Amino acid sequence: MVIAEMLKNASSVESIVQVWYSSIWKPETLTSFLLALKTVIENFYHEPQDFADSALSSQVITCLKYWSMNTAVTPSLAYKLWLESQTDVFFTANFLRKKDRLAAGRYWLTGDLLGGTTGSIVMFSNPFSSRSLALNPNFLKTINFELLSKEWQKPSAKDIVHAALNLVSEQIGKFSGLV
């Protein structure tokens, strides 16, 4: 709901990528997210027919309100919680180029895409007191390998992570034009 609202608000593709996939956010991502979140919360009460399942509605609004009031997640806490969620051996050693191994390893260790100054609220600010993150969240696993391989070979792709970011950003850009 919040990402859909961010798309409606013409938030930057970079901000949407960070909300969806990154453990760390830039200030503009946080601002964009909080603006969209405020709208979603307001609409939640003005359009109750859209949220018919009361049990789900209650959990969703609890989470949304919690996010709106708990925006301080330090990068060090975000990195720690991200790394704790990694239980799978990552394939960084399989990359031939050193810059790809370094980029993929950095992402695997930190979950950080595009830099920033605050930890991800959606990943690490949980109202249900578990503070747990799904195990092994990794946006590289969400991308078709054939498409990634083609993008990776382009001169504009600095490394494997940037090639994946290019693909994801392109798709979000296409989708944002439809909202």
Q: What is the pLDDT of residues 40-70, one digit of tens each?
A: 888 876 655 555 555 557 777 888 888 888 7
Which DSSP symbol is given to 113?
Answer: S
Q: In this structure, how many other beta carbons lie within 10 angstroms of the beta carbon of residue 15? A: 24
For position 48, what pLDDT does the model report?
52
Q: Which domain holds residue 109?
A: 2-176
Question: How many structural domains does the chain have?
Answer: 1
Q: Is 113 exposed, middle or buried (0-12, 13-18, 19+ CB in 10 A)?
A: buried
Tell me what pLDDT residue 56 has: 54
Phi, psi of 135 (to 5 degrees): -70, 140
- Pair of tokens at residue 92: 């960084």
* pLDDT score for 118: 92
Place of tokens 């009031």: 69
What's the pLDDT score for residue 136? 56
Q: What is the pLDDT of residue 113?
A: 92
CA dihedral 118, 119, 122, 127 (to 10 degrees): -100
- Predicted local confidence at residue 51, as pLDDT: 52
Residue 174: predicted pLDDT? 83
Cα–Cα distance for residue pair 144/168, rounded to 1 Å: 11
Give the model's pLDDT for residue 25: 95
For the chain, which residues score pLDDT lower than 50? Answer: none
What integer pLDDT is reported at residue 135 of this predicted model?
Answer: 57
Angle at 81 between CA 76 and CA 87, to 5 degrees: 135
Q: What is the pTM of this model?
A: 0.82
Distance, CA of 144 to CA of 93 (rounded, Å): 20
